[in-house]
Chain A
Amino acid sequence: MKHTVTYLLLALAVTLNSCGTDDTPVSHKEIFEIRTIGTLSTSEYTVGKIIKLNDVGEWYHWGDRKILISCKAKIKAGVNLNKLKADDIKVTGKKIEIQLPAAEIISFEMNPDQIKTEMVDVSGFRGGFSQAEKNKILRLGEKSIREDMKQLDILTDAETNAIVFLTDFYKNLGFEEIIIHGTKQDKRTKNTDR
């Protein structure tokens, strides 16, 4: 009887309140920025990571939640040719000498189609992971990938490949002696936030 009364009251409240709508379509205003750049991407790494999270319950949230998400990231690195200053290229007859700018991360992509929830385990009175929560977990995964990237040889590879490409490029242009200087590792940017 008590339950029936409670449900009736709830139903009444819901009915009275049912005039409320929040189904307005979202605005499709375009916000964009176009920038002219001059980057040469020369190395691409595809990396994978398993994001592991154990969400232990609080005193007001009895139970644990565990999730494993696998994801992939595609990172491109290269050199920013717009950073070449006038005196970085010296031409003497058929000889050219170039001081290359430091290699850097050009792009970082985590393809949503390559993100997969491998396992979810929920115990006690806990609910499953919402999409907003999964996105927050993925952000932590992205941060972790960007940190781990610092241990990869991607920037060294990018610089080596850039030197190979530019050597061929200038050979095609008819230069006989091509000297390209790279940048010392300690002078490279530590910023992986692209």
Chain B
Amino acid sequence: MERNKISELRTLIGRLLIVAVIVVVGYLIYQRFFADNSGSDYAIEDTPLHVEEIRKIVELNTIKFRDEVVVDSLELYKTTAEQIQGNLEKLIDPEQAKHGISSSNVKRRLTMVVKGELLYGIDLKRKDFTVIPKDGKLVISLPNPELLSINLTPKNTDVFVENGTWKDYERQLLMRKARTKMIATGEKLRLTEKAKAPLERLLKQLIRSQVPIVIEYY
């Protein structure tokens, strides 16, 4: 009876040990291959900020355009043999194993979601403006509105899919593509034209003149 109990206890301890080993090995495999260890707890060292240039500018911004674009770069395997070999190679690489396991025909893919802010208005530093009283009116001559700032930052950039190995210049190419798309959308929406009305309102608010104000663009 006593011997039986000891034997059962040993079996139980043995089984518990096996379960513990399975859990530890499972956790290790998860951490090595599947866990998202991509920088959630990174801490950068404190380095000084260098001021490289200080410029006086005079830019009157009247339209803020916020855009969000998706840019993508995709390479497919050309043959089935290449696909099998490529996916096997991905399976061996711990960083790429999750892409190899689905065995898709995608060799490499980088998809980014980029949010940007474009400011439209007039640059009064590069181009002069004149105020001339004429025939009982105040004639203000201004340069045509233009795109003054394109603000892209890492905070507003998301790497949505990264399959395969990508170089910095390839990411930069995608960022340039995002920038070009935003500028194109701004042009399509004729934002330089749309910047005129708020500009005129703003100037009238600033001038507070009793005489009529006429605004001309050159």
Contacts and interface: CB of A to CB of B under 8 A. Distances in A.
A127 B54 contact: no
B61 A34 contact: no
A167 interface: no
Nearest to B188: A30
Interface in B166-201: 166, 168, 171-172, 175-176, 185, 189, 191, 194, 198, 201
Given A32-B67, A33-B66, A61-B31, A106 B154 contact: no
B154 A32 contact: no
Interface residues of A, number: 95
Given A76-B57, A116-B168, A132-B159, A127 B44 contact: no
B103 interface: yes
Contacts of B56: 42-44, 161
B144 interface: no
Interface in A137-180: 137-145, 148-149, 151-152, 157, 161, 165, 169, 172-174
A84 B209 CA distance: 16
Nearest to B198: A36
B40 to A, nearest CB: 8
A188 interface: no
Ranked 9 nearest A-B pairs via Cβ: A138-B154, A136-B39, A112-B175, A17-B103, A132-B159, A148-B49, A46-B53, A41-B59, A52-B45
A107 B168 contact: no
Contact of A109 (B88, B93, B149, B202): B149
7 contacts: A14-B91, A14-B103, A20-B102, A38-B198, A135-B158, A136-B38, A165-B124
A72 B51 CA distance: 10
Interface of A is mostly: mixed
A117 interface: yes
Interface of B: 28, 31-32, 37-40, 42-72, 74, 76, 80, 83-84, 87-88, 91, 93-95, 100, 102-106, 109-111, 117, 119, 124, 130-131, 133, 138, 148-155, 157-159, 162, 165-166, 168, 171-172, 175-176, 185, 189, 191, 194, 198, 201-202, 205-209
A137 B59 CA distance: 32
A141 to B, nearest CB: 6
A191 interface: no
Contact of B60 (A21, A27, A40, A149): A40
B52 A173 contact: no
Interface in A64-95: 72, 76, 78, 81-82, 84, 89, 91
